[in-house]
Structure 1
Amino acid sequence: MDILLVDDEKEYTTILKKIIEKKGYNVETASSGKEAIEKIKKFRFNLVLSDLIMDGIDGIELLTRIKEISSNIEVILVTGYGSIQNAVEAMQKGAFSYFIKGDSPEVLIDEIKKVEEMVELRCAFDKSSEFVLKTNNKEFSQAIDIAKKAAESNINILILGESGVGKDVFANYIHQYSDRKEENFVAVNCCAFSDTLLESELFGHERGAFTGAIEKRVGRFELANNGTLFLDEIGDTSLDVQVKLLRVLENKTIQRIGSNKEIEVDFRLICATNKNLYDEIKKGTFREDFFYRISSIIIEIPPLRNRVEDKEMLINFFLNQCEIEFNKKIEYIDEDAKKFLMTYEYPGNLREMKNIIRRLVVLAENGMITSKYLPNQNISNIYEDDIEEIRPLREIRREFESEYIDKVLVQCNENISEAARRLEISRRQLSNKINDFKIR
C-alpha cells in the first residue's frame, strides 16, 4: 500500500516514516500541503497521513482538496491533544480517523491496517465487477458489446434494467474503457436525496447559501469534470430537477447555490433507472426532451432469470468470494439447496443472489450448506398444519424480520437510509438490526 506522509516537522516525519516502512508499506513524504497536492496529482496513493496544524494549507483544507481529486484516497489526520475536537470534526468531512501525537505508533499502525483492508475490499469489488460481466448469454453479450462501443465516444448513455442487474457495473465498465478513465468516476444515487439536497449535492454551494451551509462545498458536477458522472435512479428525479439537469447538459455550465458565477464543466453523462421512462413520459412525470437528451444510446440489461446459462458460473464465483471473505471452507451443498440456487428466479437479480449466498455461507455448519437457511424456508413452515418442531416465538420473529429486512434492502438498492424510511424506523435502529442479524 502506498502512503503519503505530510508534516512540516522534518524530524517527526523521518521517525514516523521509518516506523511505517518497517511494517512493509511504501512511504513518500511532503513538508507542506501544497507539496502534498502536487505529489497526489502525479502519483497514486491509497492513504495520506497529514498533520492537522500546518502553515498555508492545513490538514482540514488538504483533506477537502484530496477528496476533490479522488474520493478513494483515505486520510488520517495527525494531531496534538489540544486539537482533538478539530480532528473529530474533520472525520465528519471525510477523514478516515485521527492519530494523537504521543500515542503508541502501534495505534497508528492498527488504523493503517484498517485502511489496507478497505483498499483490498475495493480491489476485490473491482475484480467482482469484471467477473459479473462474463457471460454465455447472447442478450447480455450484446449489451456488453454496445457498452464497449459507446465508451469510445462521449455520447450520453442511458442504462435500463431491473434493480440489482448490475447497472452500476456497466457504468464503471464504460468509464474504464473511455478516454476519461484516468479522471474521476462520480456516482450519485438520485433517489437517496430530496430535491433540495440533490441540487446541493450536484451543484455544490457557497458558504452561507442557506442555513447549515457553514463552508463552501464543491458539487458532483465539478468533481466529475473531465471524467464521468453516473446518475443512478434518474427516473426518480422530479420535473424541477430534470429542468435544471437539462440546462446543464445544454450549456455545459453550472452555478453553485448562492453564487452567480458560471463554472464550465465537461463530463460524460451516464444515467440508469429501473423504471419504464416511456410510461413515465406518458404520465407526465418525466420530461420527453430530457429523456432524448440523456438517451443517445440505450443499453438494456437482461434480468438474471433470463441468463440461465450463467447461473452456475455466478453461484460458484460468489461462493468462492464468500469463502475468502468469511474465512470458511464449504465442502458440501445439499441437493435441495442446489436446486433452489439453480431454479430460483432471483427477483433482486445479482444483488439478491450474492446476498443469499453470503447468508448461506455465514450460517453454514461444519462446511455444509443445507436447505435449512434458504430464504422463506423456515418461515413458510409456520403456516403448515403440521409443525415438525415447535420453536420459540422470538426465534421465528427473528427469522422473519431478517428475511424481510434483506428483501427491503434489495428493493432499496442497499440504501440504508431509504430502507429505514420505508420501514419507519431510524437509520441507527436498522443498522443495529443488520449487524445483529448478520444480513450484510
Structure 2
Amino acid sequence: MPKNNYILVIDDDTYICNILKKYLEQNDFKVDITYKGAAAKELIAQNHYDIILCDYRLPDYDGMHILRYTRSVKPLIPVVIMTAYAEISKAVELIKSGAFDYIVKPMQPEMVIEVLNRALDRNSQVKSVASFSESFIQGNSEKMLEVMQHVEIVASTDITVMIEGETGSGKEFIARAIHHSSNRSKAPFIPVDCGAIPGELANSVLFGHVKGSFTGAVNDKTGYFQEAKGGTLFLDEVGNLSYENQVKILRALQEKTVTRIGDNKAQRVDIRLIAASNENLHEKVEAGEFREDLYHRLNEFMIKVPALRSRREDIIEFAGQFINQANKAFNKSVQGLDDEARELLLKYEWPGNIRELQNVIKRAVLLSPEDVINPGLFPDELRLPLSGLSSGLSEKPSGAEFTDLKSATYVNERELIQNALEKTNNNKSRAARLLGIDRKTLYNKIRLYNLKQKD
C-alpha cells in the first residue's frame, strides 16, 4: 500500500474511531475521525480523501446519506460502509448505490486493511492479466459454463456487450474476462461507476477538460474515454445514468469522438465498450426511464450472470478459492470447511451473492484458530437465520434478530441456547460451535438458566 493515503473514519462510537485511527496510522494512513454525519460532510467538502470509512448508523444521518453526499461532491472517492450483519440487506443496497464495499462488525483489523487495499488498487483502474487470472473463478455449473461460452465467442469481436445480474454476482469479473480474452488485453481496462457521476461533472469526468475552461479547472484533465484508448471502457450500473449523461454517452459512441470541455478539437477514440446493470434495462426503457436508442446501442450482445443461489453447485468451489486468497492475505493455513459449515453455505440464500460469500470466508479464515472452518466462525445470519435454527423450532416474534452470545441484544440468551441445543439434539460440542462459545461456557450458561437437558 502506498504511504500516507488519506482516510476519513465516521462512527459515533468514539472507542471504535480511536482504535481505527491508531491502527491505520500504524499502517501509514493519514487519518481524520468524526462522530457525526454533519461534521463528516464538512470534512469531505474541505479535504481530498483517498477513502471514506463510514458506519451505517450515525446520530444524525445514515450511511446512505453520506454515500450520496460524497458522490455528489467527490464522486471518485471510494466509500466503505461498516455495518452489523443483521443489516446485510442495507449493505447490499449501498453497494447498488455506489459504495465500494462493506465491512461487518465486529471488525478484524486485518480485514479493514484488506478492504482498503482493494479500494486503493481499484483506483489504479488497471489489472494485469496475471492478477486477473489468479483472482477469477468461473465455477462449473451449467449456467456459468454457458456464460463463459458466450464470453469466449464475443471476446474476439469489438461489439458492445451488456451484462445483467444482481449486485455482487460478478458482472465486473465477466467484463474483465472479455477484456483479457480479447486482442485489447494489453491495453487499459477502465471501470466507471455510472451512478457516481453527477450531471454537472459528467463532461469533465467522461471526456476531460482543458485548463481554465471553468472555475476549478486548474489543470488539463483526461477523461475516461481517453484513458481507455485501445482498451475497454466498462460502464458499470449504466441504468443509473441521468438522462443528460445518456445523451452524451450515446453521442460519443455514435461518432467515436469526444471533445474536452474548453477544446474546439474533437479527438477520435478507439475503445471496446462493455456495460452492466443490476436492473432490467428493457423494463426501464418501457417505463420511459432509459433511452431506447442507447439501450439498443449498448445491447448488441447480452450476457446474464446468474445469482449465486441459482448455481449452488459453485458455492464450495468459490469458498475454496476464497480460502486460498484469505490464507495469502492473512498468512494463515486454513485447509477447508467441516461438514456443518459446508451445509450452511449451501443452504443460505446469499442476497449479496459472491461478494457476500467472499466476505464471510475471509472473516472465517481470519478468526479460525484451526485448519478447518466450523460454523461458529460464521456470522449470525448464516448460523442463526431469522427463520429459526430449523423448521422445527418455535417461531420468533416478527422482526426478531439473532446475535451471538457475546453481543446478544435482541434475543434472550436463554432462548438462544435452548434453540441451539434443540437444533443439535443436545450435542454440547455442536451447540457451542453454533453459538460461537466454548463447551465450558455453554455448561455454565445451562446451569445459570436452569435449562433442562435431554438424557
Same fold (TM over 0.5): yes
CA distance in 2, matches of 1:329, 1:145: 34
Residue 316 (structure 1) shift: 1.2
Name the CA shift for 1:207/1:267 in 2 (closer, same or farther; >3 Å): same
Residue 370 (structure 1) shift: 3.5
**Among residues 337, 353, 358, which one is paired with 1:354 in the alignment?**
358
Residue 215 (structure 1) shift: 0.3
Match of 1:149 in 2: 153
Name the CA shift for 1:332/1:321 in 2 (closer, same or farther; >3 Å): closer
CA distance in 1, matches of 2:269, 2:142: 38
CA distance in 1, matches of 2:301, 2:195: 23
Match of 2:141 in 1: 137
- Residue 127 (str. 1) matches residue 127 (str. 2): no
Q: Deviations over 1:274-304 (max 9, x none)?
A: 1111121122110001000011000111111
Match of 2:196 in 1: 192
CA distance in 1, matches of 2:410, 2:216: 52
CA distance in 1, matches of 2:268, 2:365: 50
Match of 1:387 in 2: 414
Name the CA shift for 1:123/1:177 in 2 (closer, same or farther; >3 Å): closer
CA contact (8 A) 1:190 1:198 kept: no
Name the CA shift for 1:122/1:387 in 2 (closer, same or farther; >3 Å): farther
- 3-state DSSP of counterpart to 2:303: strand
Name the CA shift for 1:243/1:332 in 2 (closer, same or farther; >3 Å): closer
Number of residue equivalences = 274
Residue 122 (structure 1) shift: 6.8
Match of 1:284 in 2: 288
CA distance in 1, matches of 2:368, 2:213: 53
Q: Could you tell me the percent identity over the aligned residues?
A: 38
Match of 1:223 in 2: 227
Q: Deviations over 1:8-29 (max 9, x none)?
A: xxxxxxxxxxxxxxxxxxxxxx
Residue 217 (structure 1) shift: 0.4
CA distance in 2, matches of 1:124, 1:162: 27
Match of 1:40 in 2: none
Match of 2:173 in 1: 169
Query: Which structure shows the higher helix fraction?
Result: 1
**Among residues 365, 371, 390, which one is paired with 2:369 in the alignment?**
365
Residue 389 (structure 1) shift: 8.8
CA distance in 1, matches of 2:302, 2:149: 12
Q: Which amino acid aligns with 2:140?
A: N
Q: Which amino acid aligns with 2:402?
A: S
CA distance in 1, matches of 2:129, 2:351: 27
Any stretches of 5+ residues in structure 1 without a counterpart? 1-92, 94-113, 391-440
Name the CA shift for 1:249/1:310 in 2 (closer, same or farther; >3 Å): same
Residue 332 (structure 1) shift: 6.9
CA distance in 2, matches of 1:166, 1:157: 15
Name the CA shift for 1:301/1:333 in 2 (closer, same or farther; >3 Å): closer
* RMSD, matched Cα: 2.8
CA distance in 1, matches of 2:198, 2:152: 33
CA distance in 1, matches of 2:239, 2:335: 44
After TM superposition, the structure 1 = structure 2 runs for residues 18-167 of structure 1, keeping only pairs within 5 Å, are: 125-130=131-136, 132-133=137-138, 135-167=139-171
CA contact (8 A) 1:155 1:297 kept: yes
Match of 2:325 in 1: 321
CA contact (8 A) 2:320 2:336 kept: no
Q: Deviations over 1:92-119 (max 9, x none)?
A: x9xxxxxxxxxxxxxxxxxxxx9xx989
Name the CA shift for 1:206/1:145 in 2 (closer, same or farther; >3 Å): same
Q: Deviations over 1:176-200 (max 9, x none)?
A: 1222222221111112222223331
Match of 1:257 in 2: 261
CA distance in 2, matches of 1:218, 1:341: 45
CA distance in 1, matches of 2:369, 2:261: 55
Any stretches of 5+ residues in structure 2 without a counterpart? 1-75, 77-116, 385-400, 404-408, 418-455
Q: Deviations over 1:230-265 (max 9, x none)?
A: 111101001110011111111111110122211111
Residue 125 (structure 1) shift: 4.5
TM-score (norm: length of structure 1)? 0.57
- 3-state DSSP of counterpart to 1:351: helix
**Among residues 172, 181, 191, which one is paired with 2:185 in the alignment?**
181
CA distance in 2, matches of 1:283, 1:215: 41
CA contact (8 A) 1:326 1:362 kept: yes
